[in-house]
A = this chain, B = another copy of it.
Amino acid sequence: MSAHSNDGPQRPLTLADVAKLARVGESTVSRVLRGHGSFSQRTRERVISAVEQLGYVHNRLAGTLASSGSNLVGVVIPSLANIVFPDVLRGLGPVLDAEGCQPVIGVTDYDLAREEELVRSLLAWRPRAMILSGLEHSEATRAMLKASGVRVAELLDIDGEGIDIVVGFSNRAVGEASARHLIACGYRSIGYVGHDLTRDHRARKRYEGFCATLKSAGVTLAAEERSAPASSVEAGRESLARLLSRTRTLEVVYFSNDDMAIGGYFHALAGGIAVPDQLGLMGYNGLELGQAAPLPLTTVRTPRLLIGESGARAVFSIGTPQVIDTGFELVPGATTRRRTA
C-alpha cells in the first residue's frame, strides 16, 4: 500500500528522500507537509505522491526540536483502577485532539515520590502543557512545574493552593453536604466505610467534611471501617459485613464511593438486610452502576468528563491562573429515606 516492493526497516526515510524523489527542496516538502507557507499546486501534488510512494512518516521529534513546541501533553493520574480517572481522560481526549495534541500518561499509584519522578520525565519531553490530579504534590514537583513555564492544570479538587489552573469541586463540601443530607433524613446512628485515606487525599477531605458537619449537628460517627487498601465493590461488601458484625445499631452507612457502596448493597441483598428501611446506604461519584441498581443509590454526582474537558481547555488558554469550581450534585436515591423518628 505504502512502500516499494522491498519493504522492511532499512535506513529510516527522511524528508530528504522525499525531496529527492519529488525533485524539490527539503524546505518545500516541509511546507507542504505542514500546509504552512506557500507552494504551487503542482509542487504539492509531486510531494504528496512522493510521500505516499515512499510511505514516509513525518518525524515530529526533529520537527519539535527545530521549532521548539511539542504537541505532547503530560497527564498524571493516581490510578487506572478507579473509573473516575479514565472518565477524566475521556473528557480530556477530544479537546487534546482538537488542539492536535496527544496525551502522555503517567500513573502514580497515589505516591507523591512516584509523581515527582513522572513529572520530571514528562517534562523532559517539553510538553505543551501538564495536567495533574489533586493539589497535593511534593515541593520539588511544584518547583519543576513552575519552572517549566508550561501551563499546568490540577484537576478534581479545589481545597487547597494550586500551581496555575485548578478545576474541580470541593471534596470537603461534598462530605459536608452528604452529612447534612443524612442528618436531614433523621439518621443519627451513622457509620462510615472507606478505603485508605492516607493516600487518597480527596477521599480524606470528604471524610473530614463529613465528620465536621456531623459534629456540628451533635452527632458522632457510630462506627467506621476503613481497612481496604483501595476502593472496590468486594472491599465495600466485606467492610460493611465487618462493620455490621461489630455494630448492629447502625441506621445508615456512608461509603467512600459508589463502588464501595454497591458492595455494601450487595452485602445487604445477600444477607436479607432491608434497604433503606433497616439500613440506609450512601455513596459518592454518581456512577451509572449505582443509578442502575434496583434501588438507585443515594450519591453525589461529580462532573468528571466536564472536569477533564474544562481542564484541557484551560491549559490551552492564555491568561492568569484561575480556579474553576465545577460544583457537584447531591442525588437523593432510594437507598436512604426520610425517617419519622
- Tell me if A144 counts as interface (CB < 8 A to partner B): yes
Stretch touching chain B among A122-130, A173-181, A204-212, A321-329: A122-130
Interface residues on chain A, size class: 35 or more
Interface stretch (choices A78-86, A182-190, A194-202, A216-224): A78-86
Q: Is the CB of B12 within 8 A of A140?
A: no
Which chain B positions have C-beta within 8 A of A270?
294
The residue in chain B whose Cβ has the minimal distance to the Cβ of A102 is: B104
Question: Cβ of A225 < 8 Å from any Cβ of B?
Answer: no
Pair A81/B86 contact, Cβ less than 8 Å:
yes
The reply to whether A58 and B124 contact each other, CB–CB distance below 8 Å, is: yes
Say whether A7 faces chain B, with CB atoms less than 8 Å apart: yes
A193 within 8 A of B: no
Q: How far is the CB of A238 from chain B (nearest CB, A)?
A: 9
* Residue in contact with A288 in the complex, picked from B58, B60, B233, CB distance below 8 Å: B233
| A93 interface neighbour in B61, B70, B103, B107, Cβ under 8 Å | B107
CB-contact partner of A105 in B9, B64, B103, B289, under 8 A: B103
| A107 and B262 alpha carbons, distance in the complex (Å) | 29
For A290, the closest partner residue in chain B by CB is: B233
**Which residues in B have their C-beta under 8 angstroms from that of A293?**
266
Interface SS, A side: helix
A125 with B60, Cβ < 8 A, contacts A80-B89, A233-B292, A263-B292 known:
yes
Query: Cα distance A291–B107 when bound, in Å?
Result: 26
With A55-B143, A57-B123 as contacts: A72 and B288 at CB distance below 8 Å: no
- The answer on a CB contact under 8 Å between A120 and B57 is yes
Let me know if A121 is at the binding interface, CB within 8 A.
yes
Give the complex CA separation of A58 and B64 in angstroms: 15
Bits for A263-284, please: 1 = Cβ < 8 Å to B, else 0. Answer: 1001001100000000000000
Candidate in A9, A147, A234 with the most chain B CB atoms within 10 angstroms: A147
A233:B61 contact, CB within 8 angstroms: no
Establish whether residues A234 and B292, one from each chain, have CB atoms under 8 Å apart when the complex forms: yes
